[in-house]
């Protein structure tokens, strides 16, 4: 992977944090369809803050995955895909759609997953 990045002139794009150019060079023309540039940006922001993953969000992601509402990973980051999965679950359960994992949603996830 490192050799590919170096050989294809992508190291400078990483150093500049030019996620769109890096994603295009690494993943090819389908990078935009798969939102690789957006995902790289989100991951960089999450990791560069130095904070630990949000354990409530991480638990919610695990429950959502188990229940068939794919948050596209269990990383403790409340990104676009996790928010969509949370909202899908909330709507399916008749809960109000929120922008995060509130106490009611977490309780409903635990109950739906059969966790005491």
What are the structural domain ranges in the chain? 2-48, 55-113
In terms of Cα–Cα distance, which of 106, 95, 56, 99 is closest to 77? 56
Does the pLDDT of residue 111 top 80, yes or no?
A: yes
Averaged confidence pLDDT in the chain:
91
Contact 59, 106 (CB under 8 A): yes
pLDDT on residue 39? 87
CATH of span 55-113: 1.10.101
Indicate the pTM of the whole model. 0.60
pLDDT bin (cut points 50, 70, 90) of residue 67 is very high
Alpha helices per DSSP H over 8-102: 11-15, 19-27, 36-48, 55-66, 80-92
Mean pLDDT to the nearest integer, 67-93 = 94
pLDDT at 19: 92
pLDDT at 53: 80
């Amino acid at each position: 992977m490192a050799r590919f990045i170096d050989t294809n002139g992508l190291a400078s794009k990483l150093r500049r944090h030019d996620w769109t150019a890096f994603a295009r060079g690494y993943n090819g023309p389908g990078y935009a369809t798969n939102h690789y540039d957006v995902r790289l940006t989100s991951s960089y922001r999450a990791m560069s803050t130095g904070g630990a993953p949000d354990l409530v969000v991480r638990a919610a992601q695990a429950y959502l995955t188990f229940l068939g509402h794919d948050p596209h990973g269990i990383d403790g980051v409340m990104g676009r895909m996790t928010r969509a999965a949370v909202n899908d679950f909330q709507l399916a359960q008749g809960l109000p759609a929120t922008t995060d994992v509130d106490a009611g949603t977490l309780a409903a996830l635990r109950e739906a997953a059969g966790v005491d």
